Amino acid sequence: MPVTEGSVAIITGASRGIGLAIAQRLVRDGWRVCLTARNPEPLAAAVESVGGKELAIGVAGKADDPAHQDEAVSRTVVEFGRLDLLVNNAGINPVYGPLLGQDPAAVRKVFEVNVFAVLDWVRRACAAGLAETGGSIVNVASVGGLAPAPGLGAYAVSKAALIHLTRQLAAELAPKVRVNAVAPAVVRTQFARALYEGREDEVSSRYPLGRLGVPDDVAGAVAFLASADAAWVTGQTIVLDGGLTQTAHL
C-alpha cells in the first residue's frame, strides 16, 4: 500500500531508544503515531517529544496484555480514523546464561513478549482494518536471531522465532499486508547498555564500520519498509549490523 501523508502507525515499546526514534522518524515523514510503553510518565514525555497530541497519542500498558493491546488499537482508530502500520518493537531480555540454567518461567516470559504478543498485536491490527485496507507490519528482531548468541540464548531463540513468524505472516497476509523485519546488532540504547558499557571502543572495533548502531539507524530502515519505496518487499529481514555478521561470529 502506498504511504500517504497522514498515515497512522502503532509503535510498541516507544517511550525511548529504538521505538522512540522510529516514532520521531515517522512523524517527520508525515505520519501520525500511537506510542505504547509500560510506564505512563516517560510515555507522556515521548508523546510530547514527537509533536504532542495533534500528531501522537500514548497508551500505557504491558505489551503482552490483551486488554492493553485492545485499548491501543481501538484508541488509535478512534483518534486518527485509520491504521496503516504496526511496528512491533517491544521486547525483553531478563535472563543471561546457558538456556538449561534459566528459570523456565522466565524463558516462557521472553517468548510471551517477544513472539506471542507480536502475533496478538498483528491479529488485532488486522481485525481493525489492516487486513482489508492494506498496510504494513515491521517487526524489530535482532542479529541474535541469526546465529547462536552466547549468554543470550532465550532472547536469541525468541528473535529467530520472530524472524520466521515474519516470513509466515508475509505469506499469509499477502497481497494486502506487507510484513518485514529488521535485525539490528548492538545499538546504543539503555536496553543494550550491558553489552557495551565501559568497553564501547573494544566492542565497536569488531564492527567493520567502526561503531555501534544508534536508534536512527534502525528508524531509517523501518521508515523505508513502511514506505511506498518498499511496495514490492515482503517477508524480508534487513540486517543492520555495521558489517558485523560478514566478518565475525555473533
CATH of the domain at 126: 3.40.50.720
Could you tell me if 177 and 129 are in contact, meaning their C-beta atoms sit under 8 angstroms apart? no
| Res 93: pLDDT | 92
What residue type is assigned to position 191 of the chain? F
pLDDT above 70: residue 234: yes
Residue 249, in any domain of the structure: no
Which one, of 35, 62, 67, 70, lies nearest residue 49 by Cα?
35
Residue 101, in any domain of the structure: yes
Long-range contact set of residues 59-62: C-beta below 8 Å, sequence gap at least 24: 59/34, 59/35, 60/36, 61/36, 62/38
Active-site residue numbers?
155
Residue 3, in any domain of the structure: no
Q: Provide the percentage of residues in the chain whose pLDDT is more than 90.
A: 84
Q: Provide the percentage of residues in the chain whose pLDDT is more than 70.
A: 94
Q: Kindly indicate the confidence band of residue 5, based on its pLDDT and cuts at 50, 70 and 90.
A: low
On average, the pLDDT of the chain sits at 93
Print the domain residue range for 40.
8-244
| Res 198: pLDDT | 66
| Res 207: pLDDT | 84
Residue 250, in any domain of the structure: no
Q: Kindly indicate the confidence band of residue 88, based on its pLDDT and cuts at 50, 70 and 90.
A: very high
| Res 199: pLDDT | 79
Q: Which residue has the cell 566478518?
A: 247
Residue 229, in any domain of the structure: yes
The single-letter DSSP state of residue 227 is S
Could you tell me if 61 and 36 are in contact, meaning their C-beta atoms sit under 8 angstroms apart? yes
State the total domains in the chain: 1
Q: What is this structure's pTM?
A: 0.94
